Chain A
Amino acid sequence: MKTMSAHIVVAGGGVAGMEAAGTLAGMGYRVTMIEKDDAPGGHLLQWHALFPDRRPADEVISHFRKHTEHPNLRIITGTTVEKVRNHGSGVLVSLSGGAEEQADAVIVATGFELFDAHRKEEYGYGIYDNVITSADLEAMFNRGLVAKADGSVPSRIGLVHCVGSRDEKVNNNHCSKVCCVTAVKQAIEIRKMLPSCEVFCFYMDMRMYGPYYEELYRESQEYHNVNFIRGKVSEASVNINNRLVIKVEDTLAGRPLKMELDIIVLMVGMEMAGAGMRLAEASGMKRGINRFLESTDHHYGNNLSGLRGVFYAGTCTAPMNITDTISHARAAVTETVKYLNSR
């Protein structure tokens, strides 16, 4: 009974934070979830329909709203977790604005940040009107309108994979895992909204690692006529008609290829979030060469931070889809309870 009154702070209110906080509250713990933005939800709030089954993201969001409605769970928004450190038998949590929370355990669920597409200068994001990111495209889906900057209907759209991932030039050698399937999902969405618009995915490898992902890829070819060209786009420019022009090698034909496009969608990757990075620096949490939080063991300790009473959940440790984020958060709950019971 003593442990059940333990207080757990969850840093970050994305999928991982909400799963962990709601579950712990349901188990009877006192939980405080601290979210730096105005509302919990994290990146999920930006997405329109989710892979692999294209269900509306709203469904998952309302699931989590319900999951986190619990008398044991206090949600503080607009507040950033700045530092955690061992204090007495528990963990002292420093918040923005100078407040502190005394916790028995902490779950760090600070998530990821989208790669800033400006950094790939050669694609002209922020310069050419019709170069957008996958997140911008989700916003267009949410508005129900995929259009060029001048409002006209596109007749050809290209999705560029691996923007900011698998690229030494931007110091990211890791694969962001979810962007290949996001591209396929978005390609299908476009084809459904605009049946006369051609869609091309420019990929280096098709990494369809999750359940039903490869099937979605097949479906995109079989029923939606999505085109795939294997090659890394090297640059984008505009021609006199303000149409984008890309250069890519069609590596399967072994020849350079040039193509005009109305819209280029950059499939931006996942990076360690800045607020998570600062928390890690201040608290002495280790980070891997990919800058994500590094757990004590890749196989059987991947929720363990190495700090007493501090656990990791979700994409603050590595790129993950929602399903894996939830599983990882549940595992963090298990580790936390195991720790509290052993005290």
Chain B
Amino acid sequence: MKPEGKKRIWAEYQKEIPDDHFFYVRSCIRQTFFAGSEQYFLKILRDDLGKDVYEDPRHTTCTGIGYHGDVVPFETIQAVVARHFALATEAGYKHIAISCVTSFGIYSEILETWKHFPETLERTRENLYKATGRTFDVPETISHTSDIIYKFRDQIARKAKYHLIDISTGEPLKVVEHIGCHYSKMFPKYGVGGAEFPHVLVGMVEAWGGDIIDYPERRHCCGFGFRQYLVQANRGYSLFATRKKFESMQPYRPDMIIANCPGCTMFMDRWQYTIREIDGITYGADGQGIPVLTYEEVAGLVLGYNPWELGLQYHNVQSLPLLRKMGIKADPSERFLAKDGSRLPEPENLING
């Protein structure tokens, strides 16, 4: 493999990521599945990097899952997104920071549609005004929140307390990255590094000391894919897709997976449990599972935040082997303590104990 070849492609897909003043739009599923990720995105940006990030409690779901599940029409989702733009306009923000790849895909698709079919923008303005009385400016930039962490990856590296390095050997950790289809497959130019050799997560991992695994099914779907999951009877397709990835990455003995998209993180984590129940197989080294982390969780670990504050215990595949390798001391018995110190019920069947 020739790294300069990838660098050439990365140079071709550089997008404008603003330096400050973000209007933050949350994901509807992340806060439940990876409880600390969004909290720590805000904390890292505000406290560690000193940036201004604005949130409006009136912001709602983008309805993307409904859109991809064929229950929300395109006109409706345009109006929902336009309403978010109206909130940003009212607050005086021009740069949207989107915390979900599904949403990011929706926003990209809508902006492109408005660009190529200006009449759809006019119709959306009309619909939004009729429904809510609001008006809006089209934002100057949209960034996925991973784009922003990517932009500041070197600053984070300079503050690093831990690195993506196995302290017992000094070797870089072997990391699988997964960007999520809707991050750049629809519009490669909106993604850092494009669609075939995306750089957004690679850049973070390399800046923080890890090595990226380029395995044959790297570009394959994580298994979310909306339709193959939303209907229970179809979930075998979803499992099949996820297993295909695991089988392909297994020979490389990855230490962890870093994922971009709420759906991807969720499926690559939870399906490890399901596949183990059905087939009795796990895909990590030594019969373990492969921890699947969000980029904020990885950034948080690197910056030295407490893994249980970051919410790593709420993944099905536990991160203890990874923490040990990185030299992070975390007491597993404190995983399920509530804020008041009381003990929460411990989930059964966690992978990696």
Does B214 touch A at the CB level, under 8 Å? yes
B252 and chain A: residue at smallest CB distance = A240
Residue picked from B2, B6, B196, B218, most chain A C-beta under 10 Å: B196
Number of interface residues of A (CB under 8 A): 16
Number of interface residues of B (CB under 8 A): 20
**Cβ of A126: which chain B residues have Cβ within 8 Å of it?**
2, 4-5, 8
Does A118 touch B at the CB level, under 8 Å? yes
Q: Secondary structure of the A side of the interface? A: loop
Residue picked from B2, B215, B216, B217, most chain A C-beta under 10 Å: B216
Does B197 touch A at the CB level, under 8 Å? yes
A126–B219 alpha-carbon span in the complex (Å)? 18
Task: Check if B214 sits within 8 Å of A238, measured CB to CB.
Answer: yes
A122–B195 alpha-carbon span in the complex (Å)? 9
Interface string of B1-24 (1 = CB under 8 A from A): 110111011000000000000000
Task: Check if A245 sits within 8 Å of B216, measured CB to CB.
Answer: yes
**Cβ of B217: which chain A residues have Cβ within 8 Å of it?**
237
Does A121 touch B at the CB level, under 8 Å? yes
Knowing A127-B197, A237-B214 touch, does A121 contact B9 (C-beta < 8 A)? yes
Knowing A238-B216, A239-B216, A240-B215 touch, does A127 contact B194 (C-beta < 8 A)? no
A122–B217 alpha-carbon span in the complex (Å)? 13
Task: Check if B251 sits within 8 Å of A240, measured CB to CB.
Answer: yes
Does A214 touch B at the CB level, under 8 Å? no
A239–B214 alpha-carbon span in the complex (Å)? 8
**Cβ of B215: which chain A residues have Cβ within 8 Å of it?**
237, 239-240
Does A128 touch B at the CB level, under 8 Å? yes
**Cβ of B5: which chain A residues have Cβ within 8 Å of it?**
118, 124-127
Interface string of B197-221 (1 = CB under 8 A from A): 1000000000000000011111100
Tell me the smallest distance from the CB of A278 to a CB of chain B, in Å. Answer: 23
Task: Check if B1 sits within 8 Å of A127, measured CB to CB.
Answer: yes
Indicate which residue in A127, A237, A239, A240 contacts B2 across the interface (CB closer than 8 Å).
A127
Task: Check if A235 sits within 8 Å of B219, measured CB to CB.
Answer: yes
Does A129 touch B at the CB level, under 8 Å? yes
A127 and chain B: residue at smallest CB distance = B5
A128–B214 alpha-carbon span in the complex (Å)? 11
**Cβ of B194: which chain A residues have Cβ within 8 Å of it?**
121
A197–B334 alpha-carbon span in the complex (Å)? 59
Indicate which residue in B1, B9, B196, B197 contacts A238 across the interface (CB closer than 8 Å).
B1
A281–B251 alpha-carbon span in the complex (Å)? 54
Knowing A239-B216, A245-B216 touch, does A121 contact B1 (C-beta < 8 A)? no
- Of residues 102 through 141 on chain A, the ones whose CB sits less than 8 Å from some CB of chain B are 118, 121-122, 124-129
**Cβ of B9: which chain A residues have Cβ within 8 Å of it?**
121, 127
**Cβ of A128: which chain B residues have Cβ within 8 Å of it?**
1-2
A127–B195 alpha-carbon span in the complex (Å)? 15
**Cβ of A125: which chain B residues have Cβ within 8 Å of it?**
5
Knowing A128-B1, A235-B219, A240-B251 touch, does A121 contact B197 (C-beta < 8 A)? yes
Knowing A237-B215, A239-B216 touch, does A121 contact B196 (C-beta < 8 A)? yes
**Cβ of B4: which chain A residues have Cβ within 8 Å of it?**
126
A126 and chain B: residue at smallest CB distance = B5
**Cβ of A121: which chain B residues have Cβ within 8 Å of it?**
9, 194-197
Tell me the smallest distance from the CB of A102 to a CB of chain B, in Å. Answer: 44
Knowing A127-B1, A238-B216 touch, does A122 contact B251 (C-beta < 8 A)? no
A237–B251 alpha-carbon span in the complex (Å)? 15
Task: Check if B8 sits within 8 Å of A118, measured CB to CB.
Answer: yes
**Cβ of A118: which chain B residues have Cβ within 8 Å of it?**
5, 8
Knowing A124-B5, A128-B1 touch, does A237 contact B218 (C-beta < 8 A)? yes
Tell me the smallest distance from the CB of A98 to a CB of chain B, in Å. Answer: 34
- Of residues 221 through 248 on chain B, the ones whose CB sits less than 8 Å from some CB of chain A are 248
Tell me the smallest distance from the CB of B170 to a CB of chain A, in Å. Answer: 22
Knowing A127-B1, A239-B215 touch, does A122 contact B8 (C-beta < 8 A)? no
A121 and chain B: residue at smallest CB distance = B196
A240–B315 alpha-carbon span in the complex (Å)? 28
Indicate which residue in B2, B216, B252 contacts A129 across the interface (CB closer than 8 Å).
B2
Knowing A127-B5, A128-B1, A129-B2 touch, does A122 contact B216 (C-beta < 8 A)? no
Interface string of A201-230 (1 = CB under 8 A from B): 000000000000000000000000000000
A269–B188 alpha-carbon span in the complex (Å)? 24
**Cβ of A129: which chain B residues have Cβ within 8 Å of it?**
1-2
Tell me the smallest distance from the CB of B180 to a CB of chain A, in Å. Answer: 17
Task: Check if B6 sits within 8 Å of A127, measured CB to CB.
Answer: yes
Task: Check if B1 sits within 8 Å of A237, measured CB to CB.
Answer: no
A122–B218 alpha-carbon span in the complex (Å)? 12
A239 and chain B: residue at smallest CB distance = B216
Tell me the smallest distance from the CB of B167 to a CB of chain A, in Å. Answer: 25
Interface string of B45-66 (1 = CB under 8 A from A): 0000000000000000000000
Extra pairs beyond A237-B217, A242-B1 (9, CB < 8 Å) = A122-B196, A126-B2, A126-B4, A126-B8, A128-B2, A237-B218, A237-B219, A238-B1, A238-B216
A residues whose Cβ falls under 8 Å from a Cβ of B? 118, 121-122, 124-129, 235, 237-240, 242, 245
Sample (22) of A-B pairs whose CB atoms are under 8 Å apart: A118-B8, A121-B9, A121-B194, A121-B197, A122-B196, A124-B5, A124-B196, A125-B5, A126-B5, A126-B8, A127-B9, A129-B2, A235-B196, A235-B219, A237-B214, A237-B217, A237-B218, A237-B219, A240-B215, A240-B251, A242-B1, A245-B216
